[in-house]
Amino acid sequence: MTELQSMGARALSASKILATASEHTKNAALQAISQALLDNMEDILSANKQDVDAARAGGMNPSMLDRLTLTGQRVESIAKAVLKVAALPDPVGETLSETTLPNGLSVQKIRVPMGVIGIIYEARPNVTVDSAVLCLKAGSSAFLRGGKETINSNMALESIMRRAVASVGLPEDCIQLLHDTSRATAQEMMRLRGYIDVLIPRGGAGLIASVVENASVPVIETGTGVCHVYVDADADIEKAVNIIYNAKTQRTSVCNAAETLLVHKDIAADFLPLAQSRLQEKNVELRCDKKAMKILTNVTAAEPSDFGREFLDYILAVKVVDSTDEAIEHILRHNTKHSDCIVTENKQTAARFCAAVDSAVVYVNASTRFTDGEEMGFGAEIGISTQKLHARGPMGLREICSYKYIVRGDGQVR
């Protein structure tokens, strides 16, 4: 048995106990974790300082450095988020359906924990706590692999959380972190069949591609978002300006931010100058196709590769289309099945768009920024799925569970 297999075996054993733990016990564990984070603040910050110092010496860029850095306030808000998860309803054990077959067999479908959930992520120590507590509440063991830049912070957090879990009588092995952050170990983790029931990568496109390419355990692909806002001929222009401004600029580094604006030709001359002037408040660079260039000044000509590109920055690709069908075709060709929006007052056009656009979340007259577990009422999320298997869009507690059937009879045979 390799070291990883034995970690996996411990995670599996722990998951069997956790699977039948009461909601009360799981919540007690989360409360203990939250309190322990506050009580051990100094240890956490000093471990984090080691990571930050090393990263700064290694020349990490400021935005990554910021994600890596913990402060007293940030730890407090992590601890508060744990309590929010404790307050969410327990997803485990809910009866999803119940039927009686003609032969008298009763078939009950109930939600059960996934078992062992693997999470591979990058330089954000808050993900360590966040992932572990969501898994715990959903009755599954968390098998975590963070980036090497954040290993000291993560080890401190792991140790604090494990002690807290043990303090309420649950197995500490329901939270385990890979201490070896080598690439080889990550690869082995991706192939730990029989121990890991699902692997969720949380991070940039490169990480996700590597997991999808190498994993033999089932994966839920998350993340990349090339979101479109299509302003239809029948759009309310004021709504459209507000929506594209919000979807592009409220936070640019996230997967549910808009990256491409499509505009119907009949409304382009009225709408585009107003949108441009609003977007200029945040100095958004517009990369325009030829038709949009004819309407706007002080813009950049778009390269073909700007369409379908996830800028994650104050940059927006802009294209004028001849019809809703052209907009739909463009979206189907260039999106990442994440979130796409139509702005229109025409219900039939909206219905056609909703039926044809194959994204996790399709919007009519609202910002794509709402694709988020908290915003959509799930309470929390472990990521946003961009695949069609298992879960789509924000994944909350229910989405990281599985189900099983219980069939009760009185001696029935075939």
Which H or E element spans position 3?
helix 3-19
Which H or E element spans position 90?
none
> Residue from 361, 384, 395, 397 that binds a second copy (CB under 8 A)?
361
Rounded Cα gap, residues 203 and 312, in angstroms: 13
- In order of 224, 248, 254, the CA distances from 383 in angstroms are 11, 20, 12
Rounded Cα gap, residues 301 and 136, in angstroms: 50
- Asked if 254 is part of the footprint of a second copy (rule: CB under 8 A), the reply reads no
Residue 212: strand, helix, or coil: helix
> Residue from 2, 20, 50, 77 that binds a second copy (CB under 8 A)?
20
Structure tokens at 363: 């919007």
The nearest distance, CB 309 to a second copy, in angstroms, is: 16
- Asked if 239 is part of the footprint of a second copy (rule: CB under 8 A), the reply reads yes
- Asked if 237 is part of the footprint of a second copy (rule: CB under 8 A), the reply reads no
- Asked if 366 is part of the footprint of a second copy (rule: CB under 8 A), the reply reads yes
- Asked if 183 is part of the footprint of a second copy (rule: CB under 8 A), the reply reads no
Rounded Cα gap, residues 41 and 383, in angstroms: 26
The nearest distance, CB 87 to a second copy, in angstroms, is: 17
- Asked if 403 is part of the footprint of a second copy (rule: CB under 8 A), the reply reads yes
Rounded Cα gap, residues 255 and 308, in angstroms: 13
Radius of gyration of the chain (CA): 24
Q: Using CB under 8 A as the criterion, what x/- string covers residues 308-347 for binding a second copy?
A: ------------------------x---------------
- Asked if 154 is part of the footprint of a second copy (rule: CB under 8 A), the reply reads no
> Residue from 139, 146, 393, 396 that binds a second copy (CB under 8 A)?
393
- Asked if 147 is part of the footprint of a second copy (rule: CB under 8 A), the reply reads no
Residues whose CB is less than 8 angstroms from the CB of residue 85 and which lie 6 or more positions away in sequence, other chains included: 30, 133, 134, 137, 379, 380, 397
The nearest distance, CB 322 to a second copy, in angstroms, is: 19
- Asked if 155 is part of the footprint of a second copy (rule: CB under 8 A), the reply reads no
Give how far the C-alpha of residue 84 lies from the chain's centroid of Cα atoms, to the nearest Å.
Answer: 17
DSSP letters, 155-178, are HHHHHHHHHHHHHTTS-GGGEEE-
Contact predicate 144/128, CB 8 Å = yes
Structure tokens at 232: 């239809």
User: With the C-alpha atoms ordered 393, 398, 404, 410, is the resulting torsion angle positive or negative?
Assistant: negative
Rounded Cα gap, residues 253 and 243, in angstroms: 17
> Residue from 8, 91, 115, 383 that binds a second copy (CB under 8 A)?
115
Q: Which amino acid is at 251?
A: R
User: Please, which residue, 15 or 126, has the CB nearer to a second copy?
Assistant: 15
> Residue from 83, 107, 299, 315 that binds a second copy (CB under 8 A)?
107
> Residue from 2, 16, 66, 322 that binds a second copy (CB under 8 A)?
16
User: Please, which residue, 288 or 350, has the CB nearer to a second copy?
Assistant: 350
User: Please, which residue, 83 or 354, has the CB nearer to a second copy?
Assistant: 354
User: Please, which residue, 128 or 256, has the CB nearer to a second copy?
Assistant: 256
User: Please, which residue, 28 or 360, has the CB nearer to a second copy?
Assistant: 360
The nearest distance, CB 354 to a second copy, in angstroms, is: 5
Rounded Cα gap, residues 291 and 268, in angstroms: 9
User: Please, which residue, 71 or 216, has the CB nearer to a second copy?
Assistant: 216
- Asked if 359 is part of the footprint of a second copy (rule: CB under 8 A), the reply reads yes
Please name which of 203, 246, 234, 218 lies closest in space to residue 339, comparing C-alpha atoms.
246
Judged by CB under 8 A, the stretch of 73-81, 155-163, 170-178, 381-389 that binds a second copy is: 381-389
Q: Residues in the site for a second copy, rule: CB under 8 A? A: 16, 19-20, 99, 101, 105, 107, 112, 114-115, 193, 197-198, 212-213, 216, 218-221, 236, 238-239, 242-243, 245-247, 250, 332, 350, 354-356, 358-367, 369-370, 375-377, 387-390, 392-393, 402-414
